[in-house]
Amino acid sequence: MAAVPVITTRMLDRFEIAHALREIGALLELEGENPFKIRAYETGARALEGLSGDLATLVAEKRLTDIPGIGEALAGKIASLHLTGRSETLDKLRARHPPGILELLQVPDLGPKKIAALHAALGVATLADLEAACRAGRVAGVKGFGGKTQARILEGIERVRTRSADRRVLLADALLEAEPLVAHLRAAPAALAVELAGSARRGRETVGDLDVVAASHDPAAMADALAGSPGTVEVSSQGDTKITARLAGGMHVDLRVVPPEDFPTLLHHLTGSKAHHVKLRGIARDQGYTLSEWGLYRLAPENTDPDLPPDPSRKVPVESEEALYRALGLAYVPPELREDAGELEAARDGTLPADLVRLEDVRGMVHCHTTWSDGRATIEEMARAADALGIEYLTITDHSQTAGYAGGLTADRLRAQWDEIDRVQERVKVKLLRGSEADVLEDGALDWPDEILEELDVVVASVHSRMKMDEDQMTRRLVRAMSVPVFKIWGHGVGRLLLEREPYAVRVEEVLDALAASRGAVEVNGDPRRLDLEPRHLRAARARGIPIVLSVDAHSTGSLGYLRYAVTTARRGWVRRGEVLNTRGAAEFAAAVRPIGP
């Protein structure tokens, strides 16, 4: 009997496959391939990352091409990468290039053309080669390169090595730098309007650079204002309309300055996302316009030279972002939705939700810890802080008994806490609800017996232990937990800690199916490190009719402010006001979430 060949490869998940597709794209780029082909790989990678459903199912049912941006060719490569961990195309590309060549693309200002030139002239194939060539002064001698470029490359190598080049920060940390800066710029006499743009405005969970746009007739004065901001460390480049600076926290900010009539289109341009723009500009073109950051122009009837600047007489005045979408026959798309995730089709068809949840719609604070478990504030301190925010009700949800590391409450302690809640209730206006963040145990049971659940007003069910289970185990565990005949709020669904810890391995859609067949809601956890469930899963939950709860997971009075991040994340998942349980009054909310019976 012939020996069975040893299988040395393994299945890849969608993130690993996306990475492989980007590697193919990068290597093709080095070979000078058609830029649109390169873009197709990026589009495919992005589509995979945004996928809500189960990749294995799509591969098995040969439905990959149902995903917009994935055609026959990419589907074949994705299936191969998923099932075997390899792709013939990628293997061949890797064989044609030195293994270190891709790290050169990480160097700022170094793209495929320059890398190819350096490789041809000097044989540079790795970061180390490049550094040696720069230090020896050989790069400056290559045609098209000079002393300044050589120095910039050396700086760039340093940035790659210290990994500060593409450092991303949490949205909340980015806003901590951005909002004071915007306020400072707005105070400048030359400023007519200043807005934050970029991924921070879209509410992305992490942010790389800050983009700020200003309306002013005096760009130089605005550049001075940026240089004079307390958070600015240095101005690193300055053109007529664009100034780049580095902030104390290490982030870079791009400030763009234009006259007020160009402000709306520039703000829109800098808000992104890139994918949203590409599609929007295609729509503009279909309708006889060309759109750029400088405005909307009617295309000339005759085919004119595309390299000529647009004819000013054909410019369409655009007084706001709303007007821009309106001019193109589209409903206004709020920044949080601009990700090319179907929002432009919906804006065209009139199916874009007009009543996305807003911060002012939320009437109750859900998921709050106190000194009874691992919180830093007492019940009364939390209650008074909520009162001060104008909140109508507050759920006290300390940890359950199994969460010993977090000071989880035993049944006796929980009952004692109810007495304390009653005492505090007499002194505060905000309505206090008795709750618990009940651990989802290893076998999927909740951490409280029925006689306790019967007396609780609200239960958040969360995984806090055995987080490294494999996907089948974790899915079974959560499906069982979400199937118990109790109303439960699925707490911080996939357990990710942004920039720190990967999500649990779990098939979210199966858990949502179980929840939809039982009674419960999903949480949008506003802790800036979590923002969980994430938008694509929120859309999957909404599609199943599962209600949403916006929570703060507060461990202090200050973290009641996390509500804004829960709202932003929910909007990114297209969540409407009516779908959010804690936009309702206290009595209605309590009736909706009561774990057992009336």
Interface residues toward DNA, by CB under 7 A: 34, 36-37, 39-41, 43-44, 65, 68-75, 89, 107-115, 140, 143-150, 152, 198, 209, 211, 237-242, 254, 274, 277-278, 281-282, 284-286, 290-294, 306, 309-310
Cβ proximity to DNA: between 232 and 290 the closer is 290
Q: Which residues of 130-161 are buried (b: 16+ CB within 10 A; e: fewer)?
A: bbebbeeebbbebeebeeebbeebeebbeebe
Cβ proximity to DNA: between 111 and 180 the closer is 111
Residues 6+ apart with CB under 8 A from 316: 289, 295, 296, 297, 298, 327
Q: Strand 520-525 to strand 488-490: parallel, antiparallel, or no bridges (unpaired)? A: parallel
Residue 38: CB minimum distance to DNA, A: 8
How far apart CA 256 and CA 243 sit, in angstroms, is 6
Residue 534: CB minimum distance to DNA, A: 23
Cβ proximity to DNA: between 145 and 448 the closer is 145
Residue 58: CB minimum distance to DNA, A: 14
Residue 199: CB minimum distance to DNA, A: 9
Cβ–Cβ under 8 Å, residues 595 and 201:
no
Cβ–Cβ under 8 Å, residues 356 and 575:
yes
Q: Where are the alpha helices (DSSP H) in 366-490?
A: 379-388, 411-425, 450-453, 471-483
Residue 162: CB minimum distance to DNA, A: 16
Residue 57: CB minimum distance to DNA, A: 19
Cβ proximity to DNA: between 298 and 576 the closer is 298
How far apart CA 308 and CA 248 sit, in angstroms, is 41
- Structure token pair of residue 526: 């506003």
Place of tokens 């009539």: 261
Cβ proximity to DNA: between 254 and 534 the closer is 254
Residue 221: CB minimum distance to DNA, A: 15
Cβ–Cβ under 8 Å, residues 291 and 281:
yes
DSSP summary character for residue 190: T
Place of tokens 């600076």: 245
Residue 472: CB minimum distance to DNA, A: 31
Cβ–Cβ under 8 Å, residues 366 and 552:
yes
Cβ proximity to DNA: between 106 and 320 the closer is 106
Residue 165: CB minimum distance to DNA, A: 9
How far apart CA 408 and CA 441 sit, in angstroms, is 13
Cβ proximity to DNA: between 80 and 557 the closer is 80
Cβ proximity to DNA: between 75 and 550 the closer is 75
Cβ proximity to DNA: between 40 and 506 the closer is 40
Q: Look up residue 34 and give its amino acid.
A: N
Q: Look up residue 167 and give its amino acid.
A: R
Q: Assign 3-class secondary structure to 317-358.
A: CCCCHHHHHHHCCCCCCCHHHCCCCCHHHHHHHCCCCCCECC
Residue 543: CB minimum distance to DNA, A: 21
What is the residue-wise DSSP string for 138-167?
-GGGSTT--HHHHHHHHHHHHHHHHT-TT-
Cβ proximity to DNA: between 77 and 496 the closer is 77
